Structure 1
Amino acid sequence: MYDALKPIKPRKIYEEIIDQVKQLIAEGVLNPGDKLISEKELAEKLQVGRSAVREAFRALEAMGILEIRPGEGTFVRRVEPQALINVLSLVLMMDRDTTEELMELRKILEVESAGLAALRHTPEELAQMEEALAQMEADIKAGDLGEKADWKFHYAIAEATHNSLLVELMNTIAGTMQRVLRTARMQLYMTPGTPQRLLNEHKAIFLAIKEGRDQDARRAMFDHLDKVEKGLRI
């Protein structure tokens, strides 16, 4: 019942400052290009030491959120898409225990991707998906895990969205995703009938995309990812 509870860790002052600055940006109080008040002023308002504010500013700069200009001050950075991709890549490299987070990210990215692919795919992209499905089927017969064909199928869907940023995000998580896919399949395959069930789920996604049924494609993708996520928790 209480398995989901996690130990509460004490937070450092600079982490609290980071959260407050990020909240001001999220609420639109601070916008890209805005200059922040000085370290001294912020320290006085928050009733903390200047060293904590300085550490928070440096961390926010490393995240690509703030820009510190010597002699001018600290500004909210105008975030470019590539900067977001670089940060995501860094997080994935630093944290190898990302299975749960990756499954959440996949739902965010791939459910909508399936819907867009249903509306935008080309015959060539459908052929790539079919090729991946055929490889999955061959892998099942050979007793292989088939994680490479699995990745190829999902990547083909991303390409069929014709959204270059989405494809680049998929490339960013490629290494981590293939590792997780292999681990997931090793665990899921312990349940009889799972290989064929996974193949059928992929076929349902493909059919909805092929027939241009975008809502059905989204639903099929969500159901597939949700079942995989639940299977990994058992």
Structure 2
Amino acid sequence: MFKPIKKTKVYEEIVAKMTEMIGSGVLKEGDQLPGERELAETFSVSRSSLREALRTLESQGFLESRRGNGTYVASQPVELLVKPFAAFILSEKHAQRELFEVRRLIEPQVAYLAAERATPEEIEQMEKILGDQETQVAEGGTGTEVDKAFHKALAEAAKNRILLRMMDAAMEFFSESRDNYLQIKGRPKQSLIRHKEMVSAIKAGNKKLTAGIMREHLEDIENSLFSVNRKEELKKTAQKGGDIVKPPCLGSPKRMDL
């Protein structure tokens, strides 16, 4: 029932702290780190633990050593900075709501641009992904990976490098909510239907419709996930003998007039 608590090594604590400093902007790309002795004194750790932490950060791509010139904060792909915070974000109830707000800002615009800029080859690739998703859903699978591949294909078709990098980074945050959503009965099929609608709208070049379908898709995911979470909270409350508050009715989102 009870499992031993894993002891955190000193160098792992240093790695976590420095990763946080880089992610929050305290340490910026191109900054030179203080000397080894100064850093060790700052963190109140041994120099051997510090060296191990620096080697780890360098192997992960956060730092780079310049021969005879010290250690610097390396250029960071956005995805690398996202990973350390994904678990924290997804564990915070309010942060999950905020995450969906971000999705609603980014992904409808990605869909809009995809409808405007997708090439015939890119549309063909989307249809191939849908074929794979349809097969997996028909066999009783969730289609998680092909679902992710579809959203990535949309981002590539949008032909905006910044949006593409944002989507690549955001995928790390979205992975758990995607997995949870696709575990809900009937949702893999619903996701497939929405994706098919989007591809049809993209083929027609209807930018507003494509963005609207994406917006509905995200609202459906959000409503489904938080409805399930609410039911689980009520169940736990009932088991503890607490007061039960009736959950609010979450109606189906209506398609916006275009």
Scaled to the shorter chain, the TM-score interval is 0.5 to 0.7
Shift of 1:199: 3.6
What corresponds to 2:7 in structure 1? Answer: 10
Shift of 1:118: 1.3
What corresponds to 2:219 in structure 1? Answer: 223
Q: Which runs of 5+ in 1 are unaligned?
A: 1-5, 92-99
Distance 1:159 1:74, change over 3 A: closer
What corresponds to 1:35 in structure 2? Answer: 32
**For residues 176-215 of structure 1, what are the structure 2 equivalents within 5 Å?**
188=184, 191=185, 196-203=189-196, 205-206=198-199, 211-213=206-208
Q: Deviations over 1:157-186 (max 9, x none)?
A: 23321135738x86xx9xxx8xx98x986x
1:45 matched to 2:46? The reply is no
Q: Could you tell me how far apart the structure 1 residues matched to 2:21 and 2:187 are?
A: 47
Give TM-score, length-normalised by structure 2.
0.53
**For residues 99-110 of structure 1, what are the structure 2 equivalents within 5 Å?**
none
1:119 matched to 2:113? The reply is yes
Q: Which runs of 5+ in 2 are unaligned?
A: 84-89, 233-258
**For residues 74-153 of structure 1, what are the structure 2 equivalents within 5 Å?**
74-79=71-76, 81=77, 112-121=106-115, 122=117, 124=120, 125=122, 129=126, 145=141, 147=143, 150=147, 153=150
Corresponding pairs, count: 198
Shift of 1:223: 3.2
Contact 1:18 1:56 in 2 (8 A): yes
Contact 1:35 1:73 in 2 (8 A): yes
1:163 matched to 2:160? The reply is yes
Q: Could you tell me how far apart the structure 1 residues matched to 2:129 and 2:42 are?
A: 58
Q: Deviations over 1:123-148 (max 9, x none)?
A: 635566567657766887x6675848
Give TM-score, length-normalised by structure 1.
0.57
Amino acid at match of 1:46: F
Shift of 1:30: 2.7
Contact 1:65 1:77 in 2 (8 A): yes
Amino acid at match of 2:194: E
RMSD: 4.7
Q: Could you tell me how far apart the structure 2 residues matched to 1:61 and 1:39 are?
A: 15
Contact 1:208 1:216 in 2 (8 A): no
